[in-house]
């Protein structure tokens, strides 16, 4: 009875921690639903993209490949680069799991890792229980998928001027994620500016017209990250821990 009670409380705690994330995801994914509809993706297709992927940046990048009929190899490579951070998050969280997190639980839980869910889960001091994780993951998942479906359905009803304005909401989310760390960390600011300059060059300079749009995105991301790694290397302490940047 005590064990059952503990699991119920853990699930409730997860729901409580995940509810603000789910509420924040709804308006952003509403914008993605409108964006998908404007690109010719039907409402059901937009809903399935969110239900089966749950990755904001990856979905927006993938949508651009889909609407432009890009190559599948470019699509796969771009998703690998964009979503590689989730592997690092999963490795980090794996050190925090309780013994009750068996392999099936780990495989299922990995599908619900997002930046915000990871941040909340990693802030918990106690070992993570499966019940807590599922409670934490439910509101964000439901908020993201419901918002996408609502946006796709509303896109047919709202005037074109309003849908165009709402379609950029998801890009506002990306700016909200980038600006605070860019103001505090010169390396982040440098990486963002490099990516913006390279992307503008690839789009506007005719000599790069031979590059497919998807390949251009991949090259810009890799080159910007490589430049930041060279210009802002992390120093190592004798104990092997990373020291702060100068």
Reduced to 3 states (helix: H, G, I; strand: E, B; else coil), residue 161 is: helix
Q: For CA atoms 140, 141, 142, 145, give the dihedral sign.
A: positive
Given pLDDT bands bounded at 50, 70 and 90, which one contains residue 126?
confident
Q: Which tokens belong to 224?
A: 């910007």
Binned at pLDDT 50, 70 and 90, residue 49 comes out as very high
- pLDDT tens for 65-77 read 888 777 788 788 8
Which pLDDT belongs to residue 85?
83
The CA-atom distances, in angstroms, between 151 and each of 85, 132, 170 are: 27, 29, 12
Specify the DSSP class assigned to residue 241. P
Q: State the DSSP string of 92-123.
A: HHHTTB-TT--HHHHHHHHTT--HHHHHHHHT
* Mean per-residue pLDDT over the chain, rounded: 81
C-alpha 74/C-alpha 163 separation (Å) is: 29
Bridge partners for 128 per DSSP = 97
Model confidence at 176: pLDDT above 80 = no
Q: What is the mean pLDDT of residues 188-195?
A: 86
- For 54, the 3-state DSSP assignment is coil
> Would you say the pTM of this structure is higher than 0.85?
no
Please give the pLDDT value at position 213: 59
- DSSP 8-state symbol, 58: H
Model confidence pLDDT, tens digit, residues 89-113: 898 898 889 889 999 999 999 999 9
């Amino acid at each position: 009875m005590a064990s059952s009670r503990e699991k119920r409380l853990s699930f409730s705690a997860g729901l409580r921690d995940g509810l603000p994330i789910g509420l924040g995801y709804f308006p952003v994914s509403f914008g993605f639903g409108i964006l998908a509809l404007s690109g010719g993706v039907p409402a059901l297709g937009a809903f399935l993209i969110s239900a089966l992927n749950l990755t904001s940046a990856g979905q927006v990048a993938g949508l651009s490949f889909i609407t432009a009929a890009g190559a599948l190899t470019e699509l796969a490579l771009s998703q690998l680069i964009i979503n590689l951070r989730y592997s690092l998050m999963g490795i980090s969280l794996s050190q925090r799991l309780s013994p009750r997190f068996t392999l099936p639980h780990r495989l299922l839980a990995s599908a619900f890792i997002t930046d915000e869910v990871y941040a909340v889960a990693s802030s918990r001091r106690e070992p993570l229980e499966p019940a807590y994780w599922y409670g934490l993951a439910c509101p964000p998942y439901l908020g993201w998928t419901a918002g996408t479906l609502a946006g796709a359905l509303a896109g047919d009803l709202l005037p074109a001027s309003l849908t165009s304005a709402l379609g950029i909401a998801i890009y506002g989310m990306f700016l909200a994620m980038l600006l605070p760390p860019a103001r505090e960390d010169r390396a982040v600011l440098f990486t963002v500016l490099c990516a913006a300059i390279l992307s503008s060059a690839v789009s506007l300079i005719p000599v790069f017209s031979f590059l497919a749009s998807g390949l251009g995105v991949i090259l810009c991301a890799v080159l910007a990250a490589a430049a930041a790694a060279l210009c802002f290397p992390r120093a190592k302490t004798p104990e092997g821990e990373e020291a702060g940047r100068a």
